[in-house]
Amino acid sequence: MSYDFDLFVIGAGSGGIATARRAAEYGAKVAIAEFSSLGGTCVNRGCIPKKLMVYASHFPDLFSEAVGYGWSEVKSTLDWQKMITSVNNEVKRLNAIYERMLANSNVTVFQGHATFVDTHTVVVGETSVTSDKILIAVGGEPTKPDIPGIEHTIVSDQFFQLPEQPKRMVILGSGYIACEFACIMKGLGSQVTQIFRADHILRGFDEDLRLTIQEEMEKEGIKMLSGHQLTGIEKTEEGLKLHLEGAKDVIFADAISLAALGRKPKLEGLNLENIGVKVEKGAIWVDEYSRTSVENIYAVGDCTDRINLTPVAINEGRAFADTEFGNKPRLMSHENVPSAIFTIPEAATVGLTEAQAREKYGDNIKIYRTKFRPMYYVLPEKDKKTMMKLVVNSETNKVLGAHLVGDHAGEIIQGVAIAVKMGATKADFDATVGIHPSVAEEFVTMR
């Protein structure tokens, strides 16, 4: 049977675009559909604008720390509108780059929502298109709980459109997105309160990492209200009044509050139920080759709810394209995937947490841990701590996990991740000469 395209991609986020371009490199006739801006969540409403604001939030600390090194005191104020405009201009620049890359790869772009008609046909607007293979890469979207007054909050996607800086900011949630925005806003000068139901932030991460970040965030002046359930939000003359179960204090925020309470796959409107694509727990079920329950339909990225990270979606998509169009069958490994949390201080991790390692290997685990004040903070006389940790299998001496809280954590863990991915042992770490003086050298000197 003849089709309009060899591959039709639904969703032009990082994973979808990477897949479309890789398949086109192999000679496939490819199209992609996107209802919003090219680049998806990462470029438009996530990684890129967020990281730019992280950079912006660091300057007040840099100004104050410079005094310890002999520089005169700096008096500076933030122009919120200028910052937001600059951030969004960079996003627009990246959108244009993606548009050019797709054009140069001869990928046809359809603007609009794509809906399945059958297993080989989709409709975008009023245009019907057929394809031999179809890839779903629609990503995810923020969720809001059903709480009275929740309509007064914004989700993380809307954060970069705030017309002015809230003076009093409440962050709802304890995941990495909530923690990152709490640190951004505190660094930019807002009064920040973070509210969550758990005892500690960052569930699922290593316990030492969680506790260290929470302790350091509280040192920065972020008020943490743990173990509290939000029951309602009321708009008053004093601002947004938050009702918390069991709370003694009354919490007020400015006209804007942020809900960062999780994300879910964005599957509405795809018509998956009528073509037999299996959905489990709100996500598209896929096998190890990213194939859905329908033979010619595949899915990658956050809509499959495996590991919801941009580089993972990109790698999943390229592995699919290599396998199906490049005659280079390969699997995307979801083991030892590094990740970073851009809080203040930053954190990064790769491999197993201590709890995961003990569950898998029992008592055959040895922990190497250190916590110290980096040399950079000695002259500014700041009590900022770095925490580093290795989780090692005591039988094989293999490093199972590495965890770091401290400046430039993501940059450091990226290199360590290569060693962990290759199966390095603690002896391999010990045999590596450290770069002195540096924080990173502690990973090869811990005893």
DSSP 272: G
CA 213/CA 308 separation, integer angstroms: 21
DSSP string, 28-63: --EEEEESS-TBHHHHHHSHHHHHHHHHHHHHHHHH
Cα(286)–Cα(282) distance, integer angstroms:
13
Cβ–Cβ < 8 Å for 413, 338: yes
Of the candidates 104, 112, 52, the one whose C-alpha atom is nearest the C-alpha of residue 83 is 52
Dmax over Cα atoms in the chain, in whole Å? 75
The pair of three-digit structure tokens given for residue 426, joined into one six-digit string: 């603690």
Q: Which residues contact 265 (CB under 8 A, 6 or more apart)?
A: 138, 139, 140, 282, 283, 284, 302, 303, 304, 305
Pairing mode of beta strands 339-341, 347-351: antiparallel
- Cα separation, 192 vs 424, in Å, equals 41
d(CA 99, CA 184): 30
What distance in Å separates the CA atoms of residue 209 and residue 409, rounded to the nearest whole number? 12
In whole angstroms, give the CA distance from residue 34 to residue 51.
24
Question: Hey, what are 31's tokens?
Answer: 């199209």
How many helices, marked H, and strands, marked E, lie in the chain?
10, 24
Report the alpha-carbon distance of residue 317 to residue 336 in Å, rounded: 18
State yes or no: is 436 an active-site residue. Answer: yes
Contact indicator for 233, 150 with CB cutoff of 8 Å:
yes
Catalytic residues: 436
